[in-house]
Chain A
Amino acid sequence: MISIKSLSVRYKRSGVVALRDVSIDIPSNKVTCILGPNASGKTTLLKAIAQLISYDGVVEVNGRDARGIISELRRMLSYSSTLEELDLLGITVLDVLVYSRYPASRGFFTSEEDLRRVSEVCEMLGLSDLANRRLGELSAGELQRVVLAAALVKDPKVLLLDEPDGHLDVYSKTWLSSFLREISSRVTIVLSTHDPLFASMTCDYYVVLSRGRVVFTGFHDELLRDTSVLERVYNVSFTSISIGGLRVLIPLNQSAYRGKLVRQ
């Protein structure tokens, strides 16, 4: 369980306050979604949990201050965002996965155990055929899967994903959604996304940020019961529809659709 108490982040260089007094509890073995428009502090919150930036306040993991258990945290927690400009040195998919075992890998050379876990993850994410390809040769969707695989090779207990659905087409998004739901029984997942539909397909628990403050926390039903919070934050209307027993969020731009669509 991750518990965040009065977390504030101010970027020293720009003086911008990215997060103000954030206090949330993130449920274990569930998919938690951080929603919010651009510059609301989503990435900053994920980076603070991952101990990649300095902050005021406390992040507790299993009841212990995260600052005190850094090396343990590096093994049990993965943070992943995009991989950029990696084709330059001839890095292959296999390379990325082997290198990302770093905190869990013993000895100087790659061990049998490392390779076993890497091929297991490749299998899980359908990357086995791409293993020897260089990153520069992959499509954006394939690269996104490599990013996810890199986060999984050290067998983490907590997975922090910054916009895992970026650059994905519709098929890949639905695939990712069901994949994350499937592994969430073993891993605590926290993700940020711009897409309310993807969020409502995937997540159990929601944290909505607006200008660095938490404006809503609650489970799926609570968020969809009253969409007024999201409407205020995004300045867009939302409707929720039920498909196959799952209620999902659909954004509607009122001014664009006024007169053309009848909302219930």
Chain B
Amino acid sequence: MNSKLRLLLVFSILLASTTLPILYTYIVTLNEGLPGRIVMYRLYRALYTILAGTVLATSGCILQASLRNPLVDHYILGTGSGALFAVYATLLVLDHVTLWIISLAAAIGGLSALAVTILIAESISGSDIAYVLSGIGVTSLFSGLSVLLLYYVSSRYGYASLMLTGTFIQSRLENLPYTLLAAILVVLGYVVLAKRLNVIMLGDDHAAQLGVDPGLTRLLSSIIAGVSASIIVSQFGVIGFLGLVTPHTARFLLKTSDNRLVIPLAMALGSLLLFTTDTLSRSLVARVVGEVPAGAVISAIGAPFFLVLLVRRFRGGFT
């Protein structure tokens, strides 16, 4: 019970700290008498960072638990670059693209990349390190191909190059249904999977004798985590490491691995981190050097975190 109260406390503080600045922004801009379009733009932008943070953090939690692997998120497993490649390929091939087609292509591309990573990792021992190595290979492949395609795509769609590192500069009303869809997907995933993922973390035999089908749960987890993250990529580009950092931080704060508690806290942390990063890079950094994509800032924070995890993995344990 104690941990639930603690969770509630942390969650509400985080919720307040993300929602209050938005309200503040809204009120201040109204007072400044700015045109409505700017106000709406800022609101969308704030909303999307929060939703995207929620989705990517949950996707990371689900992937880590279902694959029993602390070193992964959608970016490390190649889903991010696979989805981006699919987006560029669609922009190149089709004359008339809608966000709907782009999202669908991203989901297919992201899932395919994830499947390739898992297949290769399982064929080379299936250890947590095998997943990282296989993921790096797949990520490099699709990143490289994406950059190649970008030469042709960016002449027609200027904003496409921004998607290499995720940015919210293109926040518009049209993004809302897809971003919401991804958010609903991860919330559903949380409700359906959280308890089963707990059991899966104890090993396949243990899960099976408790009545949880490991293969089915892993398949469902990969689809939910892969599709939701890919949709975010299709709207705002690749934001790496957020899904890696937030589950670990949530587990550390809660002193438990229980996904029923870890996932909600990771959601709150993810949205807070992304919103803060985006707001700072838009307001503070932009004054000095121009706007920096939020995805790049998150990577700059997340990659060292990943390296620390890697070193601790080889020094033995995560204690």
Contacts and interface: CB of A to CB of B under 8 A. Distances in A.
B201 A91 contact: yes
Contacts of B191: 108
A137 B316 CA distance: 11
A177 interface: no
Contacts of A52: 205, 208-209
Query: Which of A79, A91, A92, A132 counts the most chain B CB atoms within 10 A?
Result: A91
Given A86-B201, A89-B64, A95 B256 contact: yes
Contacts of B202: 83, 86, 91, 96, 99-100, 150
A136 B210 contact: no
A176 interface: no
B314 to A, nearest CB: 12
Interface in A196-249: none
A94 B260 CA distance: 14
A228 B122 CA distance: 46
Interface in A64-113: 70-71, 74, 77-81, 83-92, 94-96, 98-100, 102-103, 108-110
A131 B256 CA distance: 11
Interface string B195-210: 1001101110110111
A74 B211 CA distance: 6
Interface string A148-178: 0010001000000000000000000000000
A29 B194 CA distance: 36
Nearest to A81: B205
Nearest to A156: B209
A19 interface: no
A151 B33 CA distance: 66
Interface residues of B, number: 33
A103 B275 CA distance: 40
Contact of A83 (B65, B206, B255): B206
B90 interface: no
B70 interface: yes
Interface in B247-261: 251-252, 255-258, 260
Given A86-B201, A88-B70, A132-B255, A71 B211 contact: yes
A181 interface: no
A48 to B, nearest CB: 12
Contact of B257 (A70, A74, A80, A91): A91
A85 to B, nearest CB: 8
A89 B70 contact: yes
B317 interface: yes
A84 B256 contact: no
Contacts of A108: 191, 194-195, 260
B318 interface: yes
A78 B210 CA distance: 8
Nearest to A162: B205
A10 interface: no
A136 B255 contact: no
A92 B202 CA distance: 11
Contacts of B208: 52
B205 A109 contact: no
Interface string B292-317: 00000000000000000000010001
Given A71-B211, A95-B257, A102-B195, A90 B318 contact: yes
A99 B205 contact: no
A94 B261 CA distance: 14
B212 interface: yes
Nearest to B208: A52
B319 A136 contact: yes
Contacts of A99: 198-199, 201-202, 258
A190 interface: no
B248 to A, nearest CB: 8
B4 A89 contact: no
A99 B281 CA distance: 42
Contacts of B194: 108
Nearest to B204: A52
- List the 4 closest A-B pairs by CB distance, nearest first: A74-B211, A136-B317, A79-B209, A99-B198
12 contacts: A81-B205, A87-B317, A87-B319, A88-B68, A89-B201, A89-B318, A91-B201, A91-B202, A94-B256, A100-B202, A103-B210, A136-B318
Interface of A: 47, 50, 52, 70-71, 74, 77-81, 83-92, 94-96, 98-100, 102-103, 108-110, 132, 134, 136-137, 150, 154
